[in-house]
Structure 1
């Protein structure tokens, strides 16, 4: 097993190259990105190209002996090996495909290394911002710009609950989530696509809270693993509403229930509020 910092250098290099590949697709004048749909979610030729690149580079450098590789595009092929490995790469080659297609610029690339179901290394590349966020467990979180400069990240110190800002989705909304958001004590909102980009706004101190609420479907391991580590290493918190940690490579790729990411201020109170408000919604609904 290579040193974690050496593996981080590899992951950062691959992330920058992958960001360049996505940008090349994003800025070409395609009439069509050959959008297909898998389980109602869009997939483009760009997703597939970057997925192939990341896997090829990681496997060429690290092999398959010590690692399992789970990516959004290929996880079904790896399912039989997943639970037998302590070390697992969890990859989202294009987080925010709808934003990529709609040209909002708010898309990202997630790469996380998980040990015993918890992330220990993460990169989140935001190609249009030309930024790369990265972290290792216990090593802090940083943002690197295209000129090679890295800066340590720290979540905001905002400590008045009514002044906290929620970062929310434009598209993944429903009546239940809207009711929850409308009844929280903090009402400032900022709309951003891609989970990676949402967490980037929190570690850049532009927002403070992100809430994910599963319904008929749920976010997947590759949506959360890399952003979670970057947020927590920047001083934030990321848990289920009942304050239990997220676990990855458990045999179920979905992260069911309510998840709350925050700058750490009022995290427990907001989790309690969310559970109370959802119980009210259920009662009022029926």
Structure 2
């Protein structure tokens, strides 16, 4: 089944902006729910309301499509198209007011990512991409960093804050921190789109979920970021990204430390 990907991107961007506006408006009155997988895996009523806003509109527009959504509003579909949704990537930052967060929407045809949107509500920035069509920020083309050497590079790191993954991240940080220009910890989607915009020279994400990286990874790849993991393809277990010249050194260092 064919799909107008420009129309899909327009809808996704509009929904992401609507969800971001809801998040800003309700930040002072949010209510926290019970933690999910572990004590640091938090969720608020705003996460759930944002997801419902997005999923309901997608189902109205394309009732045959499947959805995978972080807060449980997914469903099966028969069209061969699946929407991957993280309504609020970076809930801990959002709740504590200590950093950025984003709204993430990706569209897959089978196993292939075809369209992606990542919206930063606080900065009013919308990153997007269509498979084979390049990456955009607020409608203007963006491109990855040309890649300075690791000793000068700004590297992003993202990881799930459960005990096992924190130990894993600690091993990687012990390797990278003395060797890199500097490191920033940010949510996975923004890590990837900041690489796409050249703000970060490289980055890595550990033990994510598909909705954390699906949208950001397509945008990064369309901007010229090289992506991989322990093998030639990135995964939720490990995603490494960098400009072409930085990629060999960064990926080798991360893979050596992540054992």
- When the two structures are superposed, what TM-score results if normalisation uses the length of structure 1? 0.80
Measured against aligned partners, the alpha-carbon deviations of 1:107-160 in whole angstroms (never above 9, x if no partner) come to 10000001221211000010001111000011111111xxxxx22111111332
Taking the TM superposition and a 5 Å limit, the aligned residue runs for 1:222-237 are 222-237=211-226
Q: Residue 222 and residue 16 in structure 1: after superposition, are their counterparts in 2 closer, same or farther (change >3 A)? A: same
Residue 105 of structure 1 and its aligned partner are, at CA, apart by: 4.1
Which one of the candidate residues 179, 196, 203 is aligned to 2:171? 179
Map 1:1-286 to 2 at 5 A: 1-26=2-27, 28=28, 30=29, 33-40=31-38, 41-63=41-63, 65=64, 67-74=65-72, 78=75, 81=76, 86-144=80-138, 150-169=139-158, 172=161, 174-184=166-176, 186-213=179-206, 218-246=207-235, 255-256=236-237, 258-279=238-259
Tell me, in whole angstroms, the C-alpha distance in 1 between the residues paired with 2:115 and 2:25: 27
Give 1:188 shift: 2.3
Cα RMSD (Å): 2.2
Comparing 180-189 with 117-126, which one deviates more in the overlay? 180-189
Deviation at 1:72, TM superposition (A): 0.3
Give, in whole Å, the separation in 2 of the partners of 1:133 and 1:228: 11
CA shift for structure 1 position 270: 2.7
Taking structure 2 as the reference length, the TM-score comes to 0.88
User: What is the CA distance between 1:269 and its match in structure 2?
Assistant: 3.7
- Runs of 4+ displaced beyond 3 Å: 169-173
Rate the CA distance shift 1:116–1:227 in 2: closer, same or farther, 3 A.
same
CA distance in 2, matches of 1:220, 1:170: 10
For this pair of structures, how many residues does the alignment match?
Answer: 252
Structure 1: how far apart are the matches of 2:234 and 2:156? 21
Distance 1:131 1:160 in 2: 28
